[in-house]
Amino acid sequence: MHIVKVDAHQILDSRGLPTVECRLTLADGAVIVASVPSGASTGRHEAHELRDNNAAVYHGKGVLSAVRHIKQVIAPGILLGKIPDIIAMDKEIIALDGTKDCSALGANAMLAVSIAVIRAQAWIEGVELFEFINDLWQFPEPMLPRCMFNMINGGMHAQSDLVFQEFLVIPSHHDFAQSLACADDFYQQLKLVLHGAGLGTAIGDEGGFVPLFTDKTVFAEEQALSLLLHTAEQFTWGVESVSFGLDSAATHFYDSGANRYRFHEQFLTAPALIELYKNLKGRFPLVSLEDGLAEDDWQGWQWLMEQLGAGVQIVGDDLLVTNTKRIQQGLTQKAMNAVLIKPNQIGTVSRTVEAIRLCQENNLATIISHRSGETNDDFIADLAVGSAAGQMKAGAPVRGERVAKYNRLLWIAEMLEG
């Protein structure tokens, strides 16, 4: 069944910034919709997100040029009148773009089309998207991911003293519905703890709370982790039911000129920052640390792995940007033992799958991830299950664009249970 119409629009993401939506109409009249997310703490090596840079509207963040590329270049050149075929069409889109970083067509335009194409293909085959992904690329059996829920937001996702970006809670339950219930109860309990401590319950970009700490004698990150521990201790599921993760997003407080990390009043070397992580690991149930160091601090990452890699999941995000070349470099340098996977860092579904596969072949853990700017598109839930990635993060268990992914996982869990 072929594509009879291609449409694209500029829509708003969860932060009120423009993003791209693509609509494919098939010969049977079905309309297949896909939209793409956008990051705030983006890595320098990510694929290029095309923005209009017209300061008169949307603070220069419009995506009308990317929309135009879908309608005027990708649609007539690759899509119209053709049968959806993700592998062939992704290749053609990459060739049409012709750049290393997707800067001609825009990674936002390319990914919107790529997701729409694979969704259309699954529709035509009459199977669920996660099943289609699983079959097409011959992944291990579909599997619900273990999720990391972002309970406290800092860094570039909130206005607060928190230098670190994400304070994640990881339920230990293997059953997804149970782990979502656990995370949700934790979130509600944390709200009560914050009220009790006289701290506000305003939320950040990913739905986590943004406490404004008044005690300046202890650094804010330690206070945030203490709040999480305190919540876990009085939580009906029991303190053992959760462990913690951090995404420091350290690229964004690294001063490359001085080769130092600006952490509150301090100006830390990589070894000093690693000491700080070791100290936190000794006092809190910390099992995962993402972007603990900056995107090009390879030497620092090696030290981090040597010192914490045995007991902690060391996750590369800005460091690796879902790019097989950088993942390969990370493997060679033993810089990490886990990889964050974000489709819009690399521009197409096929390239995302190549990155996941490389990780699986090399026993690196994979975490499928949302972005801080999201839409209600739930593609990453199907990708996580279909690729048997093992883990996923999609923010707090609140806000429509975050729960869209968790709710899709609930449906998939039911389908898999039969």
Among the listed residues 134, 144, 64, 75, the one whose alpha carbon sits nearest the alpha carbon of residue 106: 64
Minimum distance from CB of 340 to Mg ion (Å)? 6
Binds 410: which of ligand 2PG, Mg ion, none (CB < 5-8 Å by kind):
none
Q: Which stretch binds Mg ion (CB under 5 A): 239-247, 268-276, 297-305, 379-387?
A: 239-247
For ligand 2PG, the binding residue among 350, 372, 387, 391 (CB under 6 A) is: 372
CB of 40 to ligand 2PG, least distance (A): 4
CA separation (Å) from 299 to 68, 289, 319? 42, 17, 12
Contact 213, 199 (CB under 8 A): yes
Judged by CB under 6 A, the residue of 160, 231, 350, 369 near ligand 2PG is: 369
Q: Among this protein's residues, is 206 annotated catalytic?
A: yes
Q: Indicate which of ligand 2PG, Mg ion, none lies near residue 40 (CB less than 5 to 8 Å, by partner kind).
A: ligand 2PG
Buried b (16+ CB within 10 A) or exposed e, 138-165: ebeebbbbbbbbbbbbbbbbbebbbbbb
Choose which of 41, 108, 231, 322 interacts with ligand 2PG (CB under 6 A): 41
Q: State the catalytic residue, choosing from 21, 49, 128, 206.
A: 206
| 46 scored as a contact of ligand 2PG (CB under 6 A) | no
Q: Judged by CB under 6 A, does residue 317 bind ligand 2PG?
A: yes
- Residue closer to ligand 2PG by CB (options 124, 365) is 365
- Selected range binding ligand 2PG among 173-181, 300-308, 329-337, 369-377, rule: CB under 6 A: 369-377
Based on CB atoms, which residue is closest to ligand 2PG, 79 or 398? Answer: 398
Nearer to ligand 2PG, 6 or 356 (CB): 356
Using CA atoms, how far apart are residues 110 and 385, in angstroms rounded to an integer?
23
Q: Is 91 part of the annotated catalytic residue set?
A: no
Tell me how far, at minimum, the Cβ of 75 lies from ligand 2PG, in Å. Answer: 28
Residues labelled catalytic: 206, 342
Binding site for ligand 2PG (CB under 6 A): 39-42, 166, 206, 247, 249, 317, 340, 369-372
